[in-house]
């Protein structure tokens, strides 16, 4: 009974805190602008099935995809086991499903055991790859500190989880023989049926019971810790990969978002109508492009939270390959960091960050004197060739190019800054209708050939 | 175009020459080669001449939406005035902007890139390659332009043309979806590189040299400039030629 109450309290606390954190993430994502994402839902579900579930893009590189797949299936399968843990914990029963499912139960638990071991091996290989083989994409400047710790911490979690699972199952196998009425028969488990006797054989019943409970609690506590660690980690992608692929844009990649405000203004300048619409937008000092996350779309922020920090984008980026400062992964991490900075101020109700101190602090009343440009320098933005290699490479359909172009728009349109080399380009297009200032006819080449 | 419409004729297709094709001396050669092909197969086409303006692509990618809109809206006016239905562009950037970005501004046309048209003509048997043409058995590598490849998913049409030329296609390690940019896109063409270890076009030219190919085939005037410069930097400009696919067809057929 005491155990049930403790379990109930721990679960309520852990789930409550997790819900709070996920709601906070939702609020953070909605700090971005509203954007309706068009396109049919069948194509979207296809993307979720192929790219999130099927991990299609991962399989461009077979070895990491193969090991990642173990970790991923182990993760999915463990969820089944968790249902039982909840039932057992709340109702004070033991291995609720064992008698009901019989042989199937043996199979499922054995399957989970094998998968967990393989997942552990896979994590181990990943860590070796990261830290010993030094895969270059994990050693870019943006990977110092928390991002690299975050990548390594998961092994520790896995290890503790594994200790939990096997002390729980291992002791249980022995206890089944001592007290069959309480410890229902699980059949022969793939790993624990030999590992249990090997480790705990010869211990008395009360010690075994302690070990079994210890494993059980470690298991569930690890799950709770992981759940609450997720929102702070790149491992959030195990959840966010799904909505992120669902909401990925279906419009042509080559299409930059149109800016109707500017279109209508230019139309009215050219006498093509559109005056009324241009007039309707009476804002005194219009700001174009993105200066901060508030001007990005909510989808850009969802992208940032879904980023796995894998660096496939950066490894494919021509600018980064040739030693420029631009790294598309860093762009995504910066957006996330900036969002977190703002979120923290909002959480604390830090009134120093309010534009109007009289009004409550919220997304429309926020100014901490900083912007995304404190994270992302013009030098980085200017190095992008819009080649879409990052967009193509991302396994969870993140688009790092979109925010880069939005920030370029801010720099050129609102700040009237940007590379000085571009001024002649703009001038000759504006004045001569051509990307180069030319004094000859556009069809001079044809006249030269035909001799006209 | 103005002349044709004055005579009341409607051309089969409008050839969008583009700024590079009009003014860059190297790209002009491609423009002329492509016209020769159109003439040889008897396609009636028109150009806009001075009525054509920059599509606005470099301005838009640089972030200058005003200039983009000015160009785009003027071009759409002109195109709609002539009731243009089908356009062929010899530049992937023009192609992309006309095809994917003009519709939102009221310009709806059927747009193809010249390599797509070339492949279609080859498939229809309208372009016949002379047997044992000058590229038979030569090692050729193909550089995917970003705006045809990744952006618009066209990987096979240009390769189809190369196959018809009977060359020996050797792929670079980074090709198709993994193709490395030449370094010119996103208005980089008009500015110095940001500080770094190397220019992007040098990196790409070195990769092309590494394949042992004698010819680098391209489909974009900017890739053409970038890779030619890269070859010069590596002092390979006399050993490895950079050609557009239309030039290669003209050479093979000695048109
Ligand atoms: S689009 Fe820009 S950021 Fe993305 S890979 Fe290309 S150069 Fe890098
Ligand atoms: S944006 Fe995509 S490819 Fe780049 S690091 Fe994040 S998850 Fe990986």
Taking the CA of residue B54 and the nearest CA in chain A, the distance in Å comes to 5
DSSP string, chain B: -HHHHHTT---SEEEE-HHHHHH-HHHHHHHHHHHHHHHHHT--EE--GGG----SHHHHHHT-HHHHHHHHHHHHHHHHHTT--EEEESSHHHHHIIIIISGGGT---EEEEHHHHHHHHHHTTSS-PPTT-TTTT-EEEEPPPTTTTTTT---HHHHHHHHHTT-EE---SS-GGGPPP-S-TTTGGGSPPPSSSS-HHHHHHHHHHHTT-SEEEES-HHHHHHHHHHHHHTT-TTTSEEEEHHHHHHHHHT-
- Helices A401-409 and A298-306, interaxial angle, to 10°? 140
User: Nearest 5 degrees, angle CA A349-CA A23-CA A308?
Assistant: 105
Residue nearest to atom 7 of ligand 1 (CA): A384
Q: B186, B199, B255: best mutation site toward chain A, by most A Cβ within 10 Å? A: B186
Residues, chain B, total?
255
Question: How many whole angstroms from its chain centre is CA A415?
Answer: 31
Q: How far apart are CA B241 and CA B210, in angstroms?
A: 14
Q: Which sign, positive or negative, has the C-alpha torsion B231, B236, B237, B241?
A: negative
Chain A residues whose CB is inside 8 A of the B180 CB are 318, 321, 389
The answer to whether B35 and B13 are in contact (CB under 8 A) is: no
| Chain A: residue whose CA lies nearest to B50 | A442
Number of residue pairs across A and B with CB atoms under 8 Å? 209
Which of A 91-130 lie inside 8 A of B, CB atoms?
A: none
Q: Does domain B2-118 fall into CATH 3.40.50.1860?
A: yes
| Chain B: residue whose CA lies nearest to A321 | B200
Q: How far apart are CA A346 and CA A356, in angstroms?
A: 14
Of A254, A384, A391, Cβ closest to residue B100: A254
pLDDT of residue A275: 54
Chain B residues whose CB is inside 8 A of the A263 CB are 69, 73, 105
| Chain B: residue whose CA lies nearest to A387 | B146
Taking the CA of residue A324 and the nearest CA in chain B, the distance in Å comes to 4
Long-range contacts of B29-34 (CB under 8 A, 24+ apart): B29/B247, B30/B90, B30/B221, B30/B224, B30/B244, B30/B246, B30/B247, B31/A445, B31/B90, B32/A445, B32/A449, B33/B244, B33/B246, B33/B247, B33/B249, B33/B250, B34/B90, B34/B114, B34/B246
Q: How far apart are CA A178 and CA A175, in angstroms?
A: 5
Which of A 410-439 lie inside 8 A of B, CB atoms?
A: 410-413, 418-419, 421-422, 424-426, 429-430, 433-436, 438
Q: How far apart are CA B53 and CA B23, in angstroms?
A: 12
Of A322, A383, A426, Cβ closest to residue B64: A426
Q: Which two tokens stand for residue A415?
A: 């700040």
Helix (H, G, I), strand (E, B) or coil at A387: coil
Residues, chain A, total?
452
Residue A67 per-residue DSSP state: H
Chain B residues whose CB is inside 8 A of the A262 CB are 65-66, 69
Taking the CA of residue B214 and the nearest CA in chain A, the distance in Å comes to 24
Residue nearest to atom 3 of ligand 2 (CA): A394
Taking the CA of residue A49 and the nearest CA in chain B, the distance in Å comes to 21
Q: What are phi and psi of B172, to 5 degrees?
A: -75, 160
| Nearest atom of ligand 1 to the alpha carbon of B146 | 6
Output the CA–CA distances (angstroms, integers) from residue A435 to B16, B20, B151, B187, B245, in the order listed. 15, 8, 22, 10, 24
ipTM rounded to 2 decimals: 0.94
Query: What is the C-alpha radius of gyration for chain B, rounded to an integer number of angstroms?
Result: 18
Closest CA to B52 of B4, B9, B99, B89: B89
Q: Which two tokens stand for residue A388?
A: 């879409």
Q: Which two tokens stand for residue B4?
A: 């044709």
| Nearest atom of ligand 1 to the alpha carbon of A389 | 5
Q: How far apart are CA B44 and CA B209, in angstroms?
A: 39
pLDDT of residue A274: 56
Question: How many whole angstroms from its chain centre is CA A266?
Answer: 39
Q: Cβ B196–A322 below 8 Å, yes or no?
A: yes
Chain A residues whose CB is inside 8 A of the B150 CB are 253, 387-389, 391-392
pLDDT of residue B128: 86
DSSP string, A181-218: TTS------TTHHHHHHHHHTT--HHHHHHHHHHHHHH
Which of A 147-186 lie inside 8 A of B, CB atoms?
A: none
Chain B residues whose CB is inside 8 A of the A391 CB are 150
Residues in chain B where the model's pLDDT stays below 70 = 1, 6, 131-132
The answer to whether A397 and A240 are in contact (CB under 8 A) is: no
User: Nearest 5 degrees, angle CA B123-CA B124-CA B126?
Assistant: 110
Residue nearest to atom 2 of ligand 2 (CA): A394
Q: In angstroms, what is the span from residue A393 Cα to ligand 2's centroid?
A: 8
- Helices A298-306 and A328-347, interaxial angle, to 10°? 110
Closest CA to A64 of A143, A146, A130: A130
Q: How far apart are CA A211 and CA B125, in angstroms?
A: 79
Closest CA to B226 of B153, B115, B143, B155: B143
Residue A228's region, left for phi above 0, alpha for psi from -120 to 50, else beta, is: alpha
Q: Which residues line ligand 2 (CB under 6 A)?
A: A 307-313, 328-329, 332, 393-394, 396, 398, 400
- pLDDT per 10-residue tile (average), chain A, 452 residues: 90 95 96 88 92 89 88 81 90 90 90 90 86 86 86 84 91 91 89 91 91 94 92 93 94 92 89 59 70 96 96 96 96 97 93 86 90 96 97 96 97 92 93 86 84 60
Burial class (CB in 10 A: 0-12, 13-18, 19+), A112: buried
- Biggest CA-to-CA distance, chain A: 106
- Do B129-253 and B2-118 fall under one CATH topology? yes
Residue nearest to atom 6 of ligand 1 (CA): A387
Q: How far apart are CA A361 and CA A356, in angstroms?
A: 8
Hey, what CATH topology would domain B129-253 get?
Answer: Rossmann fold (3.40.50)
Helix (H, G, I), strand (E, B) or coil at A33: strand
pLDDT of residue A154: 82
Q: How far apart are CA B118 and CA B126, in angstroms?
A: 9
Q: Which residues line ligand 1 (CB under 6 A)?
A: A 316-319, 326, 328, 384-390, 400-401
Strands (E), A7-88: none
Of A392, A438, A445, Cβ closest to residue B177: A392
Q: Cβ A322–B101 below 8 Å, yes or no?
A: no
Q: Cβ A254–B101 below 8 Å, yes or no?
A: yes
The answer to whether A169 and A192 are in contact (CB under 8 A) is: yes
pLDDT of residue B77: 95
Q: In angstroms, what is the span from residue A313 Cα to ligand 2's centroid?
A: 6
pLDDT of residue A285: 59
Residue the block writes with tokens 């925010």 = A403
Structural domain spans, chain B:
2-118, 129-253
pLDDT of residue B1: 65
The answer to whether B107 and B76 are in contact (CB under 8 A) is: yes
């Amino acid at each position: 009974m005491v155990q049930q109450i403790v379990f109930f309290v721990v679960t309520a606390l852990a789930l409550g805190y997790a819900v709070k954190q996920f709601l906070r993430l939702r609020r953070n994502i909605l700090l971005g602008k509203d954007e309706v994402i068009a396109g049919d839902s069948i194509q979207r579900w296809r993307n979720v099935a192929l790219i999130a579930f099927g991990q299609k893009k991962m399989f461009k590189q077979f070895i990491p995809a193969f090991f990642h797949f173990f970790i991923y299936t182990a993760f999915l399968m463990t969820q089944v086991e968790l249902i039982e843990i909840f039932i057992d914990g709340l109702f004070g029963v033991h291995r609720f499903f064992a008698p009901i499912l019989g042989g199937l139960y043996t199979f499922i638990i054995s399957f989970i055991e094998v998968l967990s071991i393989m997942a552990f091996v896979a994590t181990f290989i990943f860590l070796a790859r990261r830290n010993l083989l030094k895969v270059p994409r994990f050693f870019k400047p943006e990977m110092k500190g928390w991002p690299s710790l975050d990548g390594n911490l998961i092994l520790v979690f896995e290890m503790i989880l594994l200790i939990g699972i096997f002390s729980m199952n291992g002791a249980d196998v022995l206890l089944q023989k001592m007290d069959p009425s309480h410890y229902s028969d699980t059949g022969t488990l793939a790993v624990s049926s030999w590992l249990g006797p090997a480790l705990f054989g010869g211990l008395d019943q009360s010690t075994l019971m302690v070990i079994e409970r210890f494993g059980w609690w470690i298991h569930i506590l690890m799950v709770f810790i992981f759940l609450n660690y997720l929102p702070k980690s790149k491992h959030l992608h195990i959840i966010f990969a799904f909505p992120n692929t669902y909401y990925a844009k279906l419009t042509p990649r080559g299409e930059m978002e149109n800016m109707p405000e500017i279109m209508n203004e230019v139309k009215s300048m050219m006498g093509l109508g559109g005056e009324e619409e241009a007039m309707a937008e009476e804002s005194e000092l219009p700001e174009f492009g993105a200066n901060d996350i508030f001007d990005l779309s909510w989808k850009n922020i969802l992208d940032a939270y879904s980023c796995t920090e894998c660096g496939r984008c950066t490894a494919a980026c021509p600018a980064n390959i040739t030693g420029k400062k631009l790294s598309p992964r860093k762009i995504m991490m910066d957006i996330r960091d900036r969002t977190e900075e703002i979120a923290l101020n909002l959480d604390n109700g830090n009134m120093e960050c309010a534009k109007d101190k009289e009004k409550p602090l919220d997304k429309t009343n926020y100014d901490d004197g900083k912007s995304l440009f404190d994270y992302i320098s013009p030098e980085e933005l200017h190095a992008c060739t819009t080649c879409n290699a990052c967009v193509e490479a991302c396994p969870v359909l993140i688009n790092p190019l979109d925010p880069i172009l939005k920030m370029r728009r801010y720099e050129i349109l609102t700040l009237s800054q940007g590379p000085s080399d571009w001024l002649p380009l703009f001038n000759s297009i504006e004045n001569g209708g051509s990307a180069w200032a030319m004094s000859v006819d556009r069809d001079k080449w044809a006249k030269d050939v035909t001799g006209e | 175009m103005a002349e044709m419409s004055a005579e009341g004729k409607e051309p089969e297709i409008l050839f969008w020459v583009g700024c590079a094709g009009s003014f860059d001396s190297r790209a002009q050669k491609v423009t002329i080669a492509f016209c020769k092909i159109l003439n040889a197969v008897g396609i009636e086409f028109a150009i806009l001449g001075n009525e054509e303006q920059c599509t606005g692509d470099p301005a838009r990618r640089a972030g200058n939406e005003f200039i983009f809109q000015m160009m785009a809206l003027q071009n759409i006016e002109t195109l709609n005035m002539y009731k243009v239905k089908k356009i062929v562009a010899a530049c992937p950037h023009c192609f992309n902007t006309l095809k994917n970005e003009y519709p939102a501004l009221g310009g709806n046309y059927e747009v193809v890139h010249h390599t797509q048209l070339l492949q279609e003509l080859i498939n229809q048997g309208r372009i016949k390659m002379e047997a044992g043409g000058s590229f038979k058995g030569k090692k050729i590598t193909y550089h995917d332009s970003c705006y045809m490849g990744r952006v618009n998913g066209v990987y096979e049409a240009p390769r189809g043309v190369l196959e018809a030329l009977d060359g020996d296609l050797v792929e670079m390690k980074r090709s198709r979806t993994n193709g490395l940019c030449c370094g010119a896109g996103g208005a980089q063409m008009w500015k110095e590189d940001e500080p770094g270890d190397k220019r992007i076009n040098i990196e790409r030219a070195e990769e092309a040299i590494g394949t042992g190919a004698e010819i680098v085939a391209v489909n974009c005037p900017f890739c053409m400039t970038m890779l030619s410069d890269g070859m010069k930097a590596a002092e390979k400009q006399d050993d490895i030629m950079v050609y557009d696919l239309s030039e290669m067809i003209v050479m093979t057929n000695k048109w």
